[in-house]
Amino acid sequence: MAVKISTLEERISVPAEGDNPLNTQEYFINMGPQHPATHGVLRLMLKLDGETVREVIPVLGYIHRGIEKIGEHQTYRQFVHLTDRCDYLSAMMNNWAVSLMVEKAMQTQLNDRIEYIRTIMAELERIQSHMLWWGVLGMDLGAFTPFLYGFRDREMITDIFEETIGCRLTMNYIQPGGLMDDIHPNFVKRVKDVIAYAKPKIDEYEELLSGNVIIQERLRNVGTITAEQATSLGVTGPVLRASGVALDLRRVAPYGAYGQVDFEVAVGSVGDCWDRYWVRVEEIRQSFRIIEQLIDNIPAGKTMLSKPAKKIILPEGSHYAQLETARGILGIYAVSDGKSENPVRIHMRSPNYHNVWSVDAMTRNARIGDLVANISSLDIVVPDIDR
């Protein structure tokens, strides 16, 4: 058995032109890694036939840092600090995933205060992530105002994070066994202020962008993937739900305080860019709804179960925990030998890595202009792809 290993050069080589002078030739052009519409350092090779895209080949690895290899030499408590360097817009949810894995393996029961604060923080994070995405989507499609609006409103949420945690982007707030610190005394009041301020803003967003005829034309029936394709492609999060599959771990396998709150899972029907847009805007509303139900009832209690244990040694065997970040399902798979505090293997099932490949299925035989809308509707964060 000989397995053929190919290279990028071979992959993008174009066969020689035939004799017929009327043949059109397909050719490759390069997009990125420093393209403003590719959200970071995502590089795409486009196989074009005139303006029509025949194939999209993502070329990854520009910020591959080997986080899984580093994790093999770190304790779980240290590894938490690496995870929010992956998907920095879901930083706290990434911390939570590692914490969840450790707590599940150690069979730790947390008190309600920890679960409530974690849930509120994760939902705030989801809102600010979706607000940023909303602004960037407008920017990608040529509207500059949403970018300013999205960042302006997101700023208020990051200010809350800064007050409680001290950081705005990479928080490390959620730790195995609890939280880094208690919430700031102003936290509850400021969250309520933000809800009062930002909830009407969502309607403003919709007025500004959703009904706009250009946005409708650019998004409707563009980049459609069916539920079958989406399942086979392994996409999760809003991308999967837009195709009509109601897989939301907050609902089907509740963790944190999600079992105690009432919210609806936004599900699309067609699976085009518009559905992905709508699902995310609706998720902002539902996240506000979740926070509203929790913010007044944060119970009293400790925010760390005990003094942080010096050593966390997981039982021998493989452990896995997953949760729903702003972009989809993040799973942490760890294999422990039961003796060392470092894992034998730690692996992140990254939502962005699984989502990014669907850009090919979305864009085949569409125009170049739609490609930008498709990438934007996927809401990709490149550090999480490359890890």
Binding site for other proteins (CB under 8 A): 1, 3-9, 11, 60-61, 64, 66, 68-69, 104-109, 227-229, 231-234, 244-247, 251-255, 259, 265, 267, 315-322, 329, 331, 333, 335, 344-345, 347, 349, 353-354, 357, 361, 386-387
Nearest to 212 by CA among 120, 277, 293, 292: 277
Closer Cβ to other proteins, 23 or 311, answer by number:
311
Please, which residue, 300 or 311, has the CB nearer to other proteins?
A: 311
Residue 12 tokens read as: 């993008």
For 195, counting Cβ atoms within 10 Å of its Cβ (0-12 exposed, 13-18 middle, 19+ buried), the class is middle
Which residue lies nearer to other proteins by CB, 72 or 162?
72
List strands edge to edge, sheet with 366-367. 27-31, 43-49, 52-59, 366-367
Amino acid residing at 353: Y
Cis, bond preceding 185 (omega within 30 deg of 0): no
Between 214 and 253, CB nearer to other proteins: 253
| 194 Cβ contact list (under 8 Å, min separation 6) | 124, 156, 157, 160
Please tell me the distance from the alpha carbon of residue 63 to that of residue 49, in angstroms, as a whole number. Answer: 30
CA 300 to chain centre: 31
Instruction: Tell me the sheet residues that pair with 154.
Output: none
Quote the tokens at residue 373.
Answer: 């809308």
CB of 233 to other proteins, least distance (A): 5
Least distance to other proteins, CB of residue 117, Å:
21
Smallest distance from the beta carbon of 224 to other proteins, in angstroms? 14
- What is the closest distance, in whole angstroms, from the C-beta atom of residue 17 to other proteins in the complex? 24
CB of 322 to other proteins, least distance (A): 7
CB nearer to other proteins: pick between 7 and 365: 7
Count of residues in the chain: 387
State how far the Cα of 115 lies from the Cα of 133, in Å rounded to an integer: 27
Chain centroid to Cα 383, Å, comes to: 11
Looking at the Cβ atoms of 105 and 373, the one nearer to other proteins is 105
Least distance from C-beta 244 to other proteins, angstroms?
A: 6
Question: Which residue number, 128 or 322, has a Cβ lying nearer to other proteins?
Answer: 322
* Paired tokens of 203: 């309607």
Instruction: Please report how close the Cβ of residue 10 comes to other proteins at its closest, in angstroms.
Output: 8
Nearer to other proteins, 195 or 305 (CB): 305
Which bin fits 379, alpha (ψ -120 to 50), beta or left (φ > 0)? Answer: left
Query: Dihedral of the CA atoms 130, 134, 139, 144 (nearest 10)?
Result: -120
For 368, phi and psi rounded to 5 degrees? -60, -40
The distance of closest approach from Cβ of residue 25 to other proteins in the complex, given in angstroms and rounded to an integer, is 22
Q: Which is nearer to other proteins, 108 or 293 (CB)?
A: 108
Cβ distance to other proteins smaller for residue 66 or 142: 66
- Mapping DSSP onto H, E and C, the string for 24-79 reads CCCEEEEECCCCHHHCCCCEEEEEEECCEEEEEEEECCCCCCCHHHHHCCCCHHHH
Instruction: Give min distance, CB of 102 to other proteins, in A.
Output: 12
For residue 304, the tally of other CB atoms under 10 A from its CB is 16
Rounded to a whole number of angstroms, the minimum distance from the CB of residue 29 to other proteins is 19
Number of Cβ within a 10 Å radius of residue 52: 14
